[in-house]
Structure 1
Amino acid sequence: MGIELRHLRCFLAIAEEGNLTRAAVRLHLTQPAVSRTLAALERHLGARLVDRTTHRFALTPEGRAFHDRAAAAVAAFDAAADPELLRRRPLRLGHAWSAFGPYTTPLLRRWQQAHPDTPLELLRIDDRTAGLTRGEVDAALLRGPVDAAGLATVELVAEPRVAALPADSPLAARASLTLADLAPETAILNPVSGTTTLGLWPPDSRPTATLTVANTDDWLTAIAAGRGIGVSAASTAEMHPHPGVVYRPLTDAPPVPVLLAWRDAAPHPAIPALEELARTIAHEHGAGGSGS
């Protein structure tokens, strides 16, 4: 048996709905038909994709790995078969937070002037690769190291790090801070799309308490509520101001690289022009990076 598009769509519906019955309703199929399609796909791949028992329904490690590939394949097919996109294919640029920082507006404006026939769509997606590995975007502005397979990256700028503090914190009265100043506080971390981990601190002076959140909005809310402190790139202060949060420079933290990333296989034809414009804007503002 060969894999067909219907097998991929069925698997994605199951993964997203978390239930065979709901997936069947979404696909306008019977539940036995969905079960047979999933079983056929698993036989072809030689791996169990979904752990389904009376009390549990979740993707297996193999299922999670296959999910991104299946989503990218379906997205690529849908884009190729869309007649509107064929006539006027946009360039979808993902980001998880802060986009291109202070260079975001110049990038969008100058792209529109130089490439009016290729709309540049900026999409915020709370994911480590901002939807790139899932095929939801054509390129992405990412921060920190990226180890996903099949991606090409180029460093555009390096941003200094800042501490994000509750506005009424005693630390907010200081002009700048060090990592040691933050160690006694609860560290609020975003493992979904953030760049800060406890590894940022030396092993002998790390925060002993942490709180995890799923996105930048929840991160800001938790800090403003006085539940802890955060560390981020400097552009966060400009792109995400909050009345309950104060940002202060961190003098001893390494900078955060801002990367332009895209898939190696069949990239959007406008990627070279986007890279050139992003580099030009960064250079004009006294910043720069290197390819990788």
Structure 2
Amino acid sequence: MSIELRHLRCFLAIAEEGGVTRAAARLHLTQPSVSRTLAALERHLGVRLADRSTHHFVLTAEGHAFRTRAATAVAAFDAALDTGRTRRRPLRVGHAWSAFGTYTTPLLRRWQERYPDTPLELRRIDDRTAGLARGEVDAALLRGPVEAPGLVTELLLTEPRMAAVPADGPLAARDTLTLADLASQPVMVNTVSGTTTRALWPSHAGPVTTLTVGNTDDWLTAIAAARGVGVTGTSTAAVHPHPGIAYRLLTDAPPLPVHLAWREDSPHAAIPCLVALAHEITAEGGEG
């Protein structure tokens, strides 16, 4: 059996929906046909792409790797058929939690003024590459190190790190904090799209415990409920103010790099314009 583009699209739907049943509904196909497509891919590749049972579905390591390759191939195919309209199709920019921080509104307004024929669409996607590695967006604003293969990155700025603490707790009474001040508290860690790990602290002085969440909303809720504290960039304080959270500057934490990233093999034609405008706005301090 030869593998066709429809097989890749089907697998990506399975991966994104987290199972065969939901993928079949999304694709308007029968569940057995989707299962057969997945099995055919596994036979062709000679590896198991997913561990699945009635109540359990998870991609294997090989499945995650193939997902990236499949998304790249599908995106490249779609781009190849759209060469005459690339400038006019929307430029989809993903982000995991706070877009371009205080520069977001100036970026969107100035882009609309200069490139009205190429809409810029911001999409929040809870994923380490904000959907870029999976082909869901054309570019992404990413914080922290970017290690996904096949991506080109441009450093736009660095953000000071902030502590996020319960607004009614003792740490909120301080003007600034240190990593050591947080180490005695449970530290909330977003394992899906966050940038905070135990490696931020010295090996001999790390937090007593960490609690994991899967997205920014749960991270904010947990800190406001005094389940723990968090570490983030200054953009989070600007984009996600919360009455139950106090943000305080961390004086000894390394700054957080903010990159614009895009796929090397199928860049949107407007990427250079986006890079130039982002640098222009940060140089001006974000004024629109």
TM-score, normalised by the number of residues in structure 1: 0.90
Unaligned runs of 5+ in 2: none
For the aligned residue pairs, the C-alpha RMSD in angstroms reads: 2.3
Structure 1 pair 198/44, CA: closer, same or farther in 2 (3 Å)?
A: same
Contact 1:161–1:254 under 8 Å retained in 2: yes
Q: Which residue of 1 aligns with 2:95?
A: 95
Structure 1 counterpart of 2:71, one-letter code:
A
Distance 1:133 1:19, change over 3 A: closer
Query: Structure 2 CA distance, aligned partners of 1:123 and 1:181?
Result: 35
Query: Following TM superposition, by how much is the alpha carbon of 1:158 offset from its aligned partner in structure 2, in angstroms?
Result: 0.6
- In the TM superposition, residue 68 of structure 1 has moved relative to its aligned partner by 2.7
Q: Give the aligned partner of residue 184 of structure 2.
A: 184
Answer yes or no: is the 8 Å Cα contact 2:87–2:118 preserved in 1. no
With over 3 angstroms needed to count, the CA separation of the structure-2 counterparts of 1:34 and 1:217, relative to structure 1, is closer
Conserved? CA contact 1:93–1:140, under 8 Å: yes
1:198 is the counterpart of 2:198? yes
Moved more, 228-237 or 84-93: 84-93
- Verify the 8 A CA contact 1:76 1:135 in the aligned structure 2: no
Tell me what 2:104 maps to: 104
**Residues 160 and 59 of structure 1, relative CA distance in 2, 3 Å threshold:** same
Deviation at residue 83 of structure 1 after TM alignment: 11
Task: Tell me the residue number matched to 1:240.
Answer: 240
The Cα of 1:73 is off from its aligned counterpart by 3.5
The CA deviation at 1:3 is 1.6
> Match of 2:223, SS?
helix
SS for the counterpart of 1:204 is coil
Counterpart-to-counterpart distance in 2, 1:131 and 1:9: 15
Partner of 2:47: 47
The structural deviation recorded for 1:203 is 1.0
- CA distance in 1 between partners of 2:166 and 2:88 (Å): 46
> For residue 254 of structure 2, what is the aligned residue in structure 1?
254
How many residues get paired?
Answer: 286
Deviation at 1:239, TM superposition (A): 0.7
Aligned-pair distance for 1:33? 3.4
Q: 1:8 to 1:128 in 2, by over 3 A?
A: same
Deviation at 1:17, TM superposition (A): 4.6
Matched, 1:225 2:225: yes
SS in 2 for 1:205: coil
Summarize the Cα distance change of 1:19–1:101 in structure 2 as closer, same or farther, 3 Å threshold. Answer: closer
Q: Which stretch of structure 1 is more off in the superposition, 134-143 or 55-64?
A: 55-64
**Residue identity opposite 2:181 in structure 1:** D
- Name the aligned partner's letter for residue 88 of structure 1: R
Match of 2:204, SS?
helix
Distance 2:168 2:258 in 1: 31
CA contact (8 A) 1:185 1:228 kept: yes
Aligned counterpart, 1:63: 63
1:284, CA displacement in angstroms? 1.5
How is 1:19-58 mapped onto 2 (pairs within 5 angstroms)?
A: 19-52=19-52, 56-58=56-58
Report the counterpart of residue 137 of structure 2 in structure 1. Answer: 137
1:5 corresponds in structure 2 to 5
Name the CA distance, whole Å, in 1 between partners of 2:22 and 2:280.
49
Kindly provide the amino acid, as one letter, of the partner of residue 6 in structure 2.
Answer: R
2:166–2:229 CA contact under 8 A, matched in 1: yes
Question: What is the deviation of 1:6?
Answer: 2.1
Note if contact 1:80-1:86 (Cα within 8 Å) is conserved in structure 2: no
